[in-house]
Chain A
Amino acid sequence: MTTVSTNDHSFYDKVLEATPRGERLKLCLQCGMCSGICPYGFAMDYPPRSLVAALRADDFAPVFESETIWLCVSCFACTSICPAQIPLTNGLLASLKTEMLIRRKVPAELQTALENTRRYGNTLGESPRKRAAWARDFTTPVPIMAQTKEPVDVLWFVGDYASYHPRVQPVSKAMAKIFQALGVRFGILGPEENSDGDVQCLAGERGLFEMLAQKNGKAFRKYQFKEIVTTDPHAYNVFKNEYPSAGFSFPVKHYTQFLAEHLEQLKPLLRHEQKYRVTYHDPCCIGRANNNNIYEEPRRVLKVIPGLEFIEMPHNRVNSICCGGGGGGNWLDGFAWERTHTRMSEWRVKEALDSGAQILAVCCPYETPRFEDALKSMGREKELVVKDIAELLADAIFG
């Protein structure tokens, strides 16, 4: 096989240094599957295949002049389909984003999210002291670890959007009620929790990721728990696959996995029929990202809801269409629109509308607002309801 030689060896070295199995870049066949499956590949000056080609042709300097790498939303479609199993999304593409950040070629919206994270520990620029404010008006309090100081079974990592976003806070409340209904001994970190670091890491801000991993990792170490359960697929992905490299390894589950394990306890609680046709969107970060492959658990949970009719969309599981929010994409909607005049979240809700579903079920905190916004921008918000699985379960438990 040819060796990679490049006039920018330092960049190639950086890719290798930052990426386990980075040397697999040498195995690229230039088959083009990656560029073909990339949802925004059509608008990129250098889709993944061309990036590898430029690296091998000793001609990578022009790549730094193009900003279209910021169209990458870290959906892992290229990485997942690559027959040579080259780490693209969290390897070459993330390293290129790092280089672009160092060269200060970063769209303003994303810059703000990164600066907010550095200052406040969350992408939204909200007060860190108010991180658990959503849980304040509960009759049965949501335990905060620093206050209760008691061992728990489940340390629930809530996440940025679920803590602060007005559309996602009700999802967190629904989840708290489900934990309470199941009698789970759980706790949250509250103000000690910081952004999980997944989107910052995949957006190339490795130093910021390290900082966040240190803060969260040290907070985890302070408390006794059996496992981390998170409502955020990004947190799941980064805790499982990136935190170990920062020195923190903890057992972690996505909440749909946790609930799938507790189906027998859950079933008798589901007393209110939900007579809806429901389809489900697979989030990239618990699906094809790093072969996390959590596909069946969310479906198993949905299917036990009485009265619910489950419909599959054509793009499901490993072929799911990304909502466009990963790897910093959540703060690059304007940038992407300028270059593509399309929204990935619209592609997804169109398919959900065509499926005949009344409800699009999701389980990632970016997706409720993203898909609702997509429906509104299409003028079709009355035709489809977007709900988190936790909200659907809470409806079935409490009516």
Chain B
Amino acid sequence: MDIAVLIKFVPDLVEELEIGASGAALDRTFLRLIPNEQDDHALEQALLLKERHGGTVTVLTLDTGDVDETLFTAVAKGADRVIKITGDFGEGINNHAAVTVLDTALKNISFDLILTGTQAVDDLDGSIGPLLAARLGLPYVGYVTGVTSADGKIVARKEYPGGLIAEMEVRLPAVLGIQAAEKPPRYVVTSLIMQAMKTAQIEETEAGAVEVRGAAGVARMSRPEATTHAELIEGDADQVADALVTLFKERGLLS
């Protein structure tokens, strides 16, 4: 099975986030970008499938800055090809636009399955997986925590709220949004990453014209604003009940 893994770079929340001069986007001057954690799980799931069933793993990422080390790390972990899509992404790129770029890049790659994280911290206009699946006309299953494969089909383990798990049979090719890989992402020693930096080749492809359509625009960005705080009602049960009744009456919930 040939698997394409999409890795997106997101702001690192270890650093303070600042809002830029426009007031509608992050200040990118000191922004540290790291690979989206769930995309790292998508890579791990792809490597586990490759180890079980053979095939190849190709990693694609938009060159939003400092992506090389992550791509070499992917090679050191066992990825076969790593592709950097270059273009003018300096001020960031929304997911609708990213999907058009990925669509073009994926035309030159043979794949049975596309894996990516179910979501990312900066998904302001929907997540990559379903947007891409809709554009490619492929089935999509999100919140996946495990994948088995047999007879040209796969079964995705999908998590629902409330502790429910569904096993969904999916025809290929398909797009899966990974919530968590079956095992935690593997460790790869620094010396193997250094070796990959010396021997592996990052393929580069031009993004071409970026089509932006259908994304919601950001009018204003602000820090969460604290308004009122929780009020603790103290006393014995009767006192608390009286206070609640008074409160409900004040708010018009009781007559």
Contacts and interface: CB of A to CB of B under 8 A. Distances in A.
Interface of A: 98, 101-102, 104, 106, 108, 111, 114-115, 118-120, 125-127, 129, 205-208, 210-211
A204 to B, nearest CB: 8
Contacts of A211: 190
Interface of B: 14-16, 30, 34, 184, 186-194
Contacts of B187: 101, 104, 106, 111, 114-115
Given A98-B189, A104-B188, A120-B14, 17 more contacts: A101-B187, A104-B187, A106-B187, A108-B184, A118-B190, A126-B14, A127-B14, A127-B15, A127-B16, A129-B15, A207-B190, A207-B193, A207-B194, A208-B189, A208-B190, A210-B191, A211-B190
B14 A205 contact: no
Contacts, number: 40
Contacts of A205: 189-190
B229 to A, nearest CB: 25
Task: Report which residue of B189, B191, B192 has the largest number of chain A beta carbons within 10 angstroms of its beta carbon.
Answer: B189
A44 B190 CA distance: 27
Contacts of A127: 14-16
A206 B191 contact: yes
Contact of A207 (B15, B34, B184, B191): B191
Contacts of A118: 190
B14 A207 contact: no
A125 B14 CA distance: 8
18 contacts: A98-B189, A102-B189, A104-B188, A106-B187, A115-B187, A119-B34, A125-B14, A126-B14, A127-B15, A205-B189, A206-B190, A206-B191, A207-B189, A207-B190, A207-B193, A207-B194, A208-B189, A211-B190
Nearest to A118: B190
Q: Which 9 A-B pairs have the closest CB atoms?
A: A207-B190, A207-B191, A208-B190, A111-B187, A101-B189, A104-B186, A127-B14, A106-B187, A127-B15
Nearest to A209: B190
Contacts of A208: 189-190
Q: Is the interface of A mostly helix, strand, loop or mixed?
A: helix
Nearest to A126: B14
Nearest to A98: B189
A327 B11 CA distance: 32
Contacts of A111: 184, 187
A110 to B, nearest CB: 9
B190 A102 contact: no
A1 to B, nearest CB: 32
A210 B189 CA distance: 12
Nearest to A108: B184
Contacts of A108: 184
Contacts of B186: 104
Contacts of B15: 127, 129
Contacts of B191: 206-207, 210
Nearest to A106: B187
Nearest to A204: B189
B16 to A, nearest CB: 8
A101 B189 CA distance: 7
Nearest to B32: A127
Contacts of B16: 127
A275 B30 CA distance: 50
A125 B15 CA distance: 11
Contacts of B34: 119
Contacts of B188: 104
A205 B191 CA distance: 8
B156 to A, nearest CB: 25
B40 to A, nearest CB: 10
A210 B34 CA distance: 23
Nearest to B194: A207
Nearest to B16: A127
B34 to A, nearest CB: 7
A236 to B, nearest CB: 23
Contacts of B193: 207
B75 to A, nearest CB: 15
Identify which of B14, B34, B184, B186 gathers the most chain A CB atoms within 10 Å of its CB: B14
B194 to A, nearest CB: 6
Contacts of B184: 108, 111
A157 B189 CA distance: 26
Contacts of B192: 102, 207
A114 B14 CA distance: 16
Contacts of A206: 189-191
Nearest to A105: B187
B255 to A, nearest CB: 52
Nearest to A101: B189
A279 to B, nearest CB: 38
B216 to A, nearest CB: 31
A102 B188 CA distance: 7
